[in-house]
A = this chain, B = another copy of it.
Amino acid sequence: MEKNTIKIGIIGLGTVGSGVVKTLENFKNIEIKTAAVRNLNKKRDVSVQNITDDPFQIVNDPEIEIVVEVAGGCDPALELITTAIKNKKHIVTANKELLAKFGAQIFDLANENNVSVLYEAAVAGGIPIIGPIKTTLRGNIFSKVAGILNGTTNYILTKMEEKNISYQECLKAAQDLGYAEADPTGDVEGFDAMYKIATLANITFHKRIDVNKIYREGITKISADDIKFANELGYKIKLIGLAQKADENDPDKLDIRVHPMLVPTSNMISGINNAMNAVLLEGFPVDKVMFTGPGAGEFPTASSVVGDIMQIAGELHHTDTVLPLHRCIDKDHAEQIDIKHTKNKYYISIKAPNSKGTIGAIGTVCGNNNINLSSILQKGIKEDNTAQVIVITEIANEIDIQNAICQMKEQNIEINNLIRVM
């Protein structure tokens, strides 16, 4: 094997970028020629030969063979990456938003230019998942991919449960500790998990995914009571990214969404706590496999970025006709079904007037809408003379559930929360 040094450029020297620089110190055949940053004057704990605030210096540098993009966002990342690809550079990126929104365009361009685009770090941080799906598991026809894809929300939900405190209180604590950002929207409203499930669905089902059609619900409406009641019934509440075949006989139809779910404690996903992530795959012939590990952080994410860099570096300089790694050639668009056409089990937290017949009324509304109940839990009478009732349904149509909820509201039965059940 040739031992030529391979020159790379890094766009972004934040948390992940610094981790990449520190990790690459162990590998002498890879040289970080240039790093691009937003602010040249910021103090950093890593040093790189050349630092610039013009990332185009990197993507236009003829000596640089691999461009590592760990800055995030779409602007200017899209332009930088497309320019780099046109300049025949291989790409390693951790940018889940960019891939979810512009993946098709980027992969097409990469194929035209015969370069590799790797993005292991874009989903589930340090957990190997993109590589295994594209290599070891490629003989499978998958029916489902699901997981805990966002560490911040999993941390908040874990602490809400441990400390029996509200979402708001917990968010504040997470922000103070640096686990949540000052503007937490991207995490707590499920955008981050949505980008990741879009990429997972793409490689698992070999279809192009429209990220705008993914149903998305965050964790901001989960109450300490919801978590407590779920626990009593044998569940944990987790923010789940989910992509599955919507119709066994029609491989084009996919059901893709991000929302909180009650996960039975018998399911290993329920045991994934704090900032950990997990990805579960179901398919034939493998049946079910699950991958767990740190979903974010300087070093775990660097592990995935460096793994990608080393894979590309390992292929360079051996031959003139290197095959792009993990080429993405899927051109068909998925037919993404609307949440209202899905079927689920549901947890419904109900605040009902404390009068005779309330449970009966709930039961009647459900019955009228083809909804069978599997558990009912009444949690005493509150000071305002209302009863807290928790219902868990059997599998029901989303449309029927929405109708039932409207009808309950018409009867002054208040709905605290509706959460789907795994």
Taking Cβ atoms with an 8 Å cutoff, the residues of A that contact B are: 1, 19, 22-24, 26-27, 120, 126-128, 130-132, 135-141, 268, 271, 284-294, 297-300, 302-304, 306-311, 314-315, 318-319, 321-323, 329
Smallest CB gap from A30: residue in B? B139
Q: Is A23 a contact of B285 with CB atoms below 8 Å?
A: yes
Smallest CB gap from A299: residue in B? B285
Smallest CB gap from A125: residue in B? B286
Q: Is B136 a contact of A307 with CB atoms below 8 Å?
A: yes
Interface core residue of A137, A141, A315, A329 (most chain B CB under 10 Å): A137
CA of A315 to CA of B324, assembled, Å? 10
CA of A22 to CA of B141, assembled, Å? 13
CA of A314 to CA of B401, assembled, Å? 47
A293 contacts which of B287, B309, B315 (Cβ < 8 Å)?
A: B287
Interface core residue of A271, A302, A307, A319 (most chain B CB under 10 Å): A307
Q: List 22 A-B contacts (CB under 8 A).
A: A1-B329, A19-B285, A26-B141, A132-B136, A136-B304, A136-B307, A138-B311, A139-B303, A139-B306, A139-B309, A140-B303, A268-B271, A286-B300, A287-B293, A287-B300, A288-B294, A289-B291, A289-B292, A289-B293, A291-B292, A319-B319, A319-B323
Contacts of A311 in B (CB 8 A): 135-136, 138
Q: Is B127 a contact of A303 with CB atoms below 8 Å?
A: no
Contacts of A287 in B (CB 8 A): 126, 293-294, 297, 299-300
Contacts of A268 in B (CB 8 A): 268, 271, 292
Q: Is B307 a contact of A284 with CB atoms below 8 Å?
A: no
CA of A290 to CA of B294, assembled, Å? 10
Smallest CB gap from A268: residue in B? B271
Q: Is A307 a contact of B23 with CB atoms below 8 Å?
A: no
Not counting A132-B132, A268-B271, A289-B293, a sample of 20 additional A-B residue pairs whose C-beta atoms are within 8 angstroms of each other reads A1-B329, A23-B284, A23-B285, A120-B136, A126-B285, A128-B128, A135-B307, A136-B303, A136-B308, A268-B268, A285-B298, A285-B299, A285-B300, A285-B306, A286-B300, A287-B294, A289-B292, A290-B291, A314-B323, A319-B321
Q: Is A299 a contact of B321 with CB atoms below 8 Å?
A: no
CA of A334 to CA of B303, assembled, Å? 25
Contacts of A271 in B (CB 8 A): 268, 271
Q: Is B310 a contact of A285 with CB atoms below 8 Å?
A: no
A131 contacts which of B126, B132, B306, B318 (Cβ < 8 Å)?
A: B132
Q: Is A286 a contact of B293 with CB atoms below 8 Å?
A: yes
Contacts of A132 in B (CB 8 A): 128, 131-132, 136
CA of A292 to CA of B288, assembled, Å? 9
Contacts of A1 in B (CB 8 A): 329
CA of A319 to CA of B323, assembled, Å? 9
CA of A127 to CA of B137, assembled, Å? 9
| Smallest CB separation, A304 vs chain B (Å) | 6
Q: Is A288 a contact of B293 with CB atoms below 8 Å?
A: yes
A303 contacts which of B286, B297, B309 (Cβ < 8 Å)?
A: B286
Contacts of A292 in B (CB 8 A): 268, 289-292
CA of A309 to CA of B139, assembled, Å? 9
Interchain residue pairs A-B with the least CB separation, the first 3: A139-B306, A289-B293, A285-B299
Interface core residue of A126, A135, A297, A318 (most chain B CB under 10 Å): A135
Smallest CB gap from A22: residue in B? B285
| Known A286-B299, A289-B126: A310·B26 in contact at CB below 8 Å | no
Contacts of A322 in B (CB 8 A): 319
| Known A289-B126, A293-B286, A299-B286: A139·B310 in contact at CB below 8 Å | yes
Q: Is B139 a contact of A23 with CB atoms below 8 Å?
A: yes
| Known A131-B136, A306-B139, A307-B137: A286·B126 in contact at CB below 8 Å | yes
